[in-house]
Structure 1
Amino acid sequence: MGPLPDPVTPAGRDGLAALLARPGRAVVALDFDGTLADIVPDPEQARAHPGAVPALTRLAPRLGSIAVVTGRPAGVAVRYGGFAGVPGLEHLVVLGHYGAERWDAVTGTVHAPAPHPGVAAVQAELPGVLDRSGGWRGTWVETAHIENKGGRAIAVHTRRAPDPQAAFDALRGPLEELAERHGLILEPGRMVLELRPPGMDKGVALAEYLREVDASAVLYAGDDLGDLAAFAAVEKLRSEGLPGTLVCSGSAEVAELAERADLVVDGPSGVVELLGALADRLGGRAS
């Protein structure tokens, strides 16, 4: 692995220094899609970067924990990430559905509350809403991929549409109305519109987890608009005295994250290199 990159901000440098000084109580938190896994047209085909698990197995034993914070169901992220039953990943947790679900590597089980009833109602109405939206002309099945996130959220992906941005723009208003009608919120992302219950976001999930484990420092890496809440949580915690470093898994599609990050890396491959460099610095054994 290459050298550990230097954050461009004083707060980011302080956060990284604190992590290196007391790794046994530090947390590295990571988004999944676009951060540990490349974005692909069909989200069901997303898989962790080939170097992700080897890097994590070297790094995790040196840290207090590693948390994967994702909008996906926890079990799906575990499966697509290849995290289950891997020696060295005992300190890994997956906070799925923005923290509504949790998988712990130590037990290999998922804990979750009952789903919000609005999600099922949205699922039932969604085909008609898509079919009535301008430009779809009855072909929504072919141009939009509907992802039911375990009954806890619905995501409509437009990346496979002939004009993904036009489809995204055409659907945003109707889907926002649909979400509001059933007590949900609409969260836009990288060619995806997600309808989910309010009060669920990566910032809430991350902050609660950091308090639970009494973290001494945090590094958070993400790539999409949904990660802005986690960035804001880390910024707030920094103002309260918890050192933290914000990493953007670089993408031309989301400039907002790069502008607020302490460090920008080149997509999932750059994240893997960063994890490996951290492991090298902390003496993690190469496999």
Structure 2
Amino acid sequence: MEVIDCIESVVSNMSDEEKGMLKVILEYGKKAEKEAGSIWNSQQELSSYGKSVTPKWVADEMTYAFQQGAGIVDVVSGKYGNYGKMLDMAIKEVLVKAFHVSKPIFSSDSKTYEGAVQREGWIAENLLNSMITNMGEDERKAFTKQVEQLLRAKGISAGKAAQAGAAIFQGGLTAARAVMGFNFHILVAQVANLVVKAIAGRGLSFAANAAMQHWVKILFGATFGWIFTAILAFPLLTSLIYPREYDKLIPAVFIIGVSRLSKE
């Protein structure tokens, strides 16, 4: 399934701030804070930077980041421009090692739209979970309070929302899955919604906004941010032979993934 087919509707409906963040990441990757830190320290500049972003531009940049260093190998193997296969490689080469988990099994083939979105969702959920578990105690407390409010607004009982908040505080999204059961997708959507709001710099309580702004900037901006550190830490043979630009691709997938999840 081609990248453009999977991301077009999501990118088309992004705010200019989200598009601006996406553009910075795809242009600078791990050098983003050094090269373009002033842009996302200003919501106005971030919004202005994202106005010209189109789905085709994003798809082309993501494909280029993936195939960088591999060239004809990806074309011959059928990975070139195939969103699902690109994400499969990112999961296999980087993310299962970063998260210390087994390679996930998906119900739909990577060549299908459904399969590609499943893989994107897995990446987004796991990065959201890591973001939460890496927050400081005070930041996580402010964050979980905001999540509880959003869950109640979606019709989740106060008791269940409090249970979910406590689980998130103690163990992140993974711990909250058992509490929420069939409603887990509602929880994930609300967490994703908070990240989208943080990128746009609006719609959060003061305490929650401070926590989310801090972690969104670490997630995307700092060379020493955990995602870039994790990606750059693996001396994988395949990465040495085919140096894909995962420092651009994976954060871009995260932004697209949380934007999609936030609308569910």
In proportion to residue count, which structure has more helix? 2
Comparing both structures, which one devotes a greater share of its residues to strand?
1
Larger RCO: Structure 1 or Structure 2 (Cα < 8 Å, ≥ 6 residues apart)? Answer: 2
TM-score, normalised with respect to structure 1? 0.28
TM-score (norm 2): 0.30
Which structure would you say has the larger Rg? 1
